[in-house]
Amino acid sequence: MIDVQQLQHAFRIGKRGQEKEVHVLKGIDFSVKEGEIVAIVGKSGSGKSTLLQIIAGFLQPNAGAVHMKHQNIAQLSEKERAAFRLKNFGFIFQNFQLLPGQNVAENIELPLKLRGESPVVRKKKVQDMLARVGLTEVAEHYPNELSGGQQQRVAIARALITDPPVILADEPTGSLDSQTEREILTFIQQLNEESNITFIMITHDDEVASIAHRILRMGDGLLLEAQHAI
């Protein structure tokens, strides 16, 4: 489903005229099959967040390719990458990234608005999604009125609302207590089993990674090892 080939990326840091290149990715190769949960594990600075941003099309690599649906995402224009992202990816973030001035239903609805779907279609899809993730009773609540687990469920619902084939998750339980973390991880497993959604998660936590079918370990911009988990 996704084929990452020889990805390389570097950032320039320092004062103008005294910049130096920091090589964050040094030739990354791996593939993700449809319906897999893949965890990319590494310490801070290992390159895993940069890798996820390149897969999502937020960054263009210095070299290499990311193939999905016969497209090399890395070679698309910024406008084309944005359209491809909206159609093919959902996103879950550590800090939820919910809009504080919009209620639960409005936060979930946002990607549908970006896609230009009609109000009638949006309303039906949001109602169905609220029921699916168990948030119907808090549809009109605002993010600051929810628990951490509820906020992450809203974020997951927003990621799912466009029926993307792939969910990219950046430390999806990093802001949650251990009990709520387990609930969210169980929910991710259920979504994967019921809908065959592909998940690519980055994490530094082996417990989070334990729900994955496959674990890729990164360090110093390199893929160090791959192992099967569940």
Enter the pTM of the model. Answer: 0.91
Domain containing residue 79: 2-228
pLDDT of residue 230: 65
Q: How many domains does the chain have?
A: 1
Pairing, β 214-219 against β 222-228: antiparallel
Q: How many residues does the chain have?
A: 230
189-213 CB burial, b ≥16 within 10 A, e <16: eebbeeeebbbbbbbeeeebbebbb
Q: How far apart are CA 158 and CA 7, in angstroms?
A: 29
Cα–chain center distance at 96: 11
CA of 3: how far to CAs of 31, 133, 223, in Å? Answer: 4, 30, 14
CATH of the domain at 53: 3.40.50.300
Weakly modelled stretches of the chain, pLDDT under 70: 229-230
pLDDT of residue 17: 72
pLDDT of residue 48: 93
* pLDDT tens, position by position, 25-41: 999 999 999 999 999 99
Q: Are 165 and 133 in contact (CB under 8 A)?
A: no
pLDDT of residue 141: 98
